[in-house]
Amino acid sequence: MDPSQLDAIDVHVHVEIDAHGHMSLPEAFMEASAGYFHAGHRTPTIDEIADYYRERRIGAVVFTVDTEAFTGHPALSNEEIAEGAAKHGDVLIPFASVDPAKGKAGARTLRRLVTEHGMRGLKFHPSLQNFAPNDGSAYPLLEVAQELGIPAVFHTGQTGIGAGMRGGGGVRLSLSNPMLLDDVAVEFPDLTIILAHPSFPWQDEALAVATHKPHVYIDLSGWSPKYFPPQLVRYAGSLLQDKVLFGTDYPLITPDRWLADFARLDLKPQVRPKILKENAVRVLKLAPGGPA
């Protein structure tokens, strides 16, 4: 990927279906999240994602979420996602997802995905994977991520997955409190950590951790910017202007909608390119003229 050929980089894009028609989550969860977000085309393929983003001159970080231990639903293939992203290397960057329940075997899998398949980061969803970020279960994976220099993205805050289902589908929101990641940032001081989403109802906690820990960032996915909490906008335009990243949560939110609402935020002109691309280029270690 040559970032000089792109206008922005979306660091949060979900692959929800594979080439065989298998979905990343049980159907009930997919329907609940689609209803929560009023989403349209819920399951674009990797090829469709690449075409969509290429038309807009936007790069995209793509991943699935391995929730097999909690949901019993087979995860999509990381290898297939890596292969699909490699076909579209001008616009797609693949991140791996390995369930922390897989322990040391999962850590070996992650190492192989990075060194042999070109995965560039690691995605977690604590509420869907049913673990607390600081309980140690993900530490074997994080040790590999820190060693190999790849970022780890953690869902934070409320989730639309399970919303409205009986008992919320068993999804525990408390596991996605961003303050739990303060412990992770202490245990892994050289690991780049990305707190995904405005962290409702813990926005202030997320801002505190990102301000205090030098390698903790925030992506702005999952919400239209017009709904961002005012303190998030204030920090994004000041103290955290070098640590905030453009993300949509596509296909739940489209970059067209996100960018239109982002243009209306009260931000200094020099801050916008940092959020839309420059911060991501640095975090993802993208070379200015071509592949990293």
pLDDT in tens, 34-56: 665 555 556 899 999 999 999 99
Average pLDDT over residues 220-240: 96
Q: Which fold has domain 3-283?
A: TIM Barrel (3.20.20)
Q: How far is CA 90 from CA 11, 34, 49, in A?
A: 15, 29, 12
Q: pLDDT band for 291, please (50, 70, 90 cuts).
A: very low
> Six-digit token pair at 111?
């190492």
Per-residue pLDDT band for 71 (boundaries 50, 70, 90) equals confident
Neighbour count for residue 43 (Cβ, 10 Å): 17
Whether pTM > 0.75 for this model: the answer is yes
% of the chain beyond a pLDDT of 90 = 82
Residue extents of the structural domains in the chain: 3-283
Give the contacts of 101 (CB within 8 A, at least 6 positions apart).
Answer: 68, 69, 70, 129, 131, 137
In 202-251 the beta strands, taken as DSSP E runs, fall at: 216-219, 244-245
Question: What pLDDT, in 10s, does the model give residues 1-29?
Answer: 999 999 999 999 999 887 877 777 667 66
Burial string for 12-38 (b: 16+ CB within 10 Å, else e) reads bbbbbbbeeeebbbeeebbebbbebbe
